[in-house]
């Protein structure tokens, strides 16, 4: 990790105990308020007691590690230029595999079958993290002052992507990034990682880069572009990047929650008024995929601003 980048202190990281979302009428509003503050100030928080067992997360990371360690000819079966492919392997400064993951039963037969436990272990994690994503998104929607069921049915039928990365071990003197600064095009991204390496732009500290330490058993939640649009800019999609480690390779699994490809996302009408005019045009995941094909220099979220 880049020693010049300060590490976020635990007191700066909002940690949400997911079980408290199910507690009494006094506890839940406090948790929802914490989520609101974290999304507004940092675009990021972490969750504990989220209901995904250590066995499920470790098995998913283990199967991905074994896949990434396969000979290149076995991974190149999934090497495509077309960003629309539902299963796609990419290799450059890192190895990456994208998997469409909902409904799991519709896609799992197209996933890698080597290692032999890949489909079972990633399928178990995909089902669990999707359930969790919808639960967290419900609390986030509530934190915006919207009805907790706002967009629920569309989100439950939406696109769920799993994107896993392996960042090779770096040399101690290297300043190369494993993944450059970007925001995610999702409502939220839930991140599982085998070690630290994530860095976020701290909106509260002159947009300084801060390293996010790994916390055993915790998952990271990142605000994505579509949540920024839905909130009419109240919540900001967090810029983040990855610094590889000189100690070992890093494997991470991002779970991206979206609506269906053609469904449009726009600022919630309840959050638009004379004092808060609409700040973003409507867009869809399909439009974003087309945008990627053109390789524009401007970021997609910037292109949506009115």
**90 pLDDT more than 80:** yes
Average pLDDT over residues 120-130: 98
Average pLDDT over residues 75-90: 94
**31 pLDDT more than 50:** yes
| Predicted local distance difference test score (pLDDT) of residue 1 | 46
Domain count for the chain = 1
- 2 within some domain: no
- CATH at residue 120: 2.60.120.330
| Predicted local distance difference test score (pLDDT) of residue 151 | 93
| Predicted local distance difference test score (pLDDT) of residue 213 | 94
**12-21, 84-93, 135-144, 176-185: the lowest-pLDDT one:** 176-185
**Range of the structural domain that residue 134 is part of:** 10-304
- 1 within some domain: no
- 3 within some domain: no
The encoded tokens of residue 72 equal 């290149």
- 14 within some domain: yes
**283 pLDDT more than 70:** yes
- 214 within some domain: yes
Average pLDDT over residues 28-39: 96
Average pLDDT over residues 271-284: 96
| Predicted local distance difference test score (pLDDT) of residue 265 | 97
* Mean per-residue pLDDT of the chain: 93
| Predicted local distance difference test score (pLDDT) of residue 292 | 81
| Predicted local distance difference test score (pLDDT) of residue 170 | 84
| Predicted local distance difference test score (pLDDT) of residue 102 | 96
Query: Quick one: pLDDT band at residue 3, thresholds 50, 70, 90?
Result: low
**39 pLDDT more than 50:** yes
Average pLDDT over residues 253-267: 97
- Cα 58–chain centre separation: 18
Q: Express each pLDDT in 158-215 by its tens digit.
A: 999 999 999 998 876 677 777 889 999 999 999 999 999 999 999 989 999 999 999 9
- 4 within some domain: no
Query: Quick one: pLDDT band at residue 256, thresholds 50, 70, 90?
Result: very high
Q: Express each pLDDT in 42-59 by its tens digit.
A: 999 999 999 999 999 999
- 122 within some domain: yes
- 64 within some domain: yes
Spatial contact of 163 and 279, defined as CB atoms under 8 Å apart: no
């Amino acid at each position: 990790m880049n020693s010049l980048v300060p590490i976020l202190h635990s007191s700066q990281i909002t940690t949400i105990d997911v079980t408290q979302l199910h507690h009494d009428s006094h506890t839940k509003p406090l948790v929802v308020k914490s989520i609101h503050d974290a999304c507004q100030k940092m675009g990021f928080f972490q969750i504990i007691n989220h209901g995904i067992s250590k066995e499920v997360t470790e098995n998913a990371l283990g199967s991905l590690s074994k896949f990434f360690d396969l000979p290149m000819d076995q991974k190149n079966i999934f090497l495509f230029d077309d960003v629309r492919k539902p299963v796609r392997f990419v290799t450059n400064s890192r190895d990456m595999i994208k998997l469409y993951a909902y409904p799991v039963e519709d896609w799992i037969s197209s996933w890698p079958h080597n290692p032999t436990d890949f489909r079972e272990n990633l399928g178990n994690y995909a089902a669990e993290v999707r359930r969790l994503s919808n639960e967290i998104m419900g609390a986030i929607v509530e934190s915006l002052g919207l009805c907790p069921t706002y967009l629920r049915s569309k989100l439950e039928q939406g696109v769920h992507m799993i994107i896993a990365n392996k960042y090779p071990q770096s040399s101690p003197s290297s300043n190369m990034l494993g993944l450059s600064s970007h925001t995610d095009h999702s409502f939220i991204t839930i991140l599982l990682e085998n070690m630290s390496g994530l860095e976020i732009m701290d909106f509260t500290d002159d947009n300084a880069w801060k390293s996010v330490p790994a916390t055993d058993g915790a998952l990271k939640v990142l605000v994505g572009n579509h949540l920024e649009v839905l909130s009419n800019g109240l919540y900001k999609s967090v810029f983040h990047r990855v610094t590889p480690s000189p100690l070992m390779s890093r494997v991470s699994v991002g779970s991206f929650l979206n609506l269906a490809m053609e469904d449009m996302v726009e600022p919630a009408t309840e959050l638009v008024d004379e004092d808060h005019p609409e700040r973003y045009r409507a867009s869809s995941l399909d439009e974003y995929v087309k945008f990627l094909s053109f390789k524009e220099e401007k970021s997609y979220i910037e292109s949506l601003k009115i």
